[in-house]
Amino acid sequence: MKGVLCLRTNARLIDVAHDFPRQDVRVTAFWLREVLPYFPPAVHLVVVDPGVGTDRAALVVRAGDHALVGPDNGVLLPAARALAAERTDESAGRSDEGDADENVEVFTWEVDDPASHTFHGRDVFAPAAAAVHDAGVANAGTLDRATPTTGHTDLAFPEPEISGRDDGAESEATGEVLAVDGFGNVITNLPGTVLDDRFSEDVTVNGEPTPAERTYAAVGPGERVLTVGSHGSVECAVNQGRGNEVFGLSVGDRVRLVW
């Protein structure tokens, strides 16, 4: 893919990640949503493509000053909304996606009979990304191969359930694991705000008492901690250890906090 890009464009190449879980559209969509808003305007080439070679379409998505290129399986859309949302440097990665949709345009990309049925990253998406780069993101829709569509696959992350009582007594929040990072930190869809002003209170995570702290190192090495991760959401972590193993949590698992 890098060869194809170098052959067709003088664009600067930045390696963002080569270690997303293979074939995992949903976890990749999560990471792209969190990471790409930190970049300046760019063409983001995304290849997590379990349906390669089938009749799923190739997409070019314009999202504000950015473009995303990849398969029509939903992987691009959460990041597209995050990129399109009005944002400042400080709010990168944690914008709500309110009015973002109107700043997102989705195009199918016409595919010739490709050189392979098994590696569209090289044969379809890299050439498309080079073409979009050289035309300019704003002109992506004017390219001959681009056709506006609204029939693409979307992907949304589940909403957490958060309940409290006005009397200040026990409240709870139930969410889901969206990803596990390279350190084993368990990233949930629970907003970090549920911990606001509650860092000294007793809380259980799926029934196990766990201290809520601002930093990993606030607990001893090897100890469990509930914290707010760099993506603004609640994380189940272990100081200098692997939270996923100690909490026994994987992507898709339910996480219930009770105070």
Which residues contact its own copies (rule: CB under 8 A)? 2-4, 6-7, 13-16, 22-23, 35-40, 50-54, 89-90, 92, 115-119, 122-123, 182-183, 185, 214-218, 227-230, 232, 235, 239-240
**Dihedral (CA of 239, 193, 191, 256) sign:** positive
- Spatial neighbors of 199 by CB under 8 A, at least 6 apart, are 212, 213, 214
- Minimum distance from residue 166 beta carbon to its own copies (Å): 30
Residue number with CB closer to its own copies (38 or 142): 38
Residue number with CB closer to its own copies (25 or 104): 25
- Minimum distance from residue 53 beta carbon to its own copies (Å): 3
Helix (H) or strand (E) holding 31: helix 25-35
DSSP structure class, residue 96? -
Residue number with CB closer to its own copies (72 or 235): 235
Residue number with CB closer to its own copies (100 or 195): 195
- Spatial neighbors of 145 by CB under 8 A, at least 6 apart, are 109, 110, 128, 131
How many other C-beta atoms lie within 10 A of the C-beta of residue 65?
13
- Minimum distance from residue 7 beta carbon to its own copies (Å): 5
Q: Which long-range contacts (CB under 8 A, 24 or more apart) does 87-90 make?
A: 87/37
- Minimum distance from residue 167 beta carbon to its own copies (Å): 31
Residue number with CB closer to its own copies (13 or 138): 13
- Minimum distance from residue 100 beta carbon to its own copies (Å): 18
Strand 146-148 and strand 104-109: the pairing is antiparallel
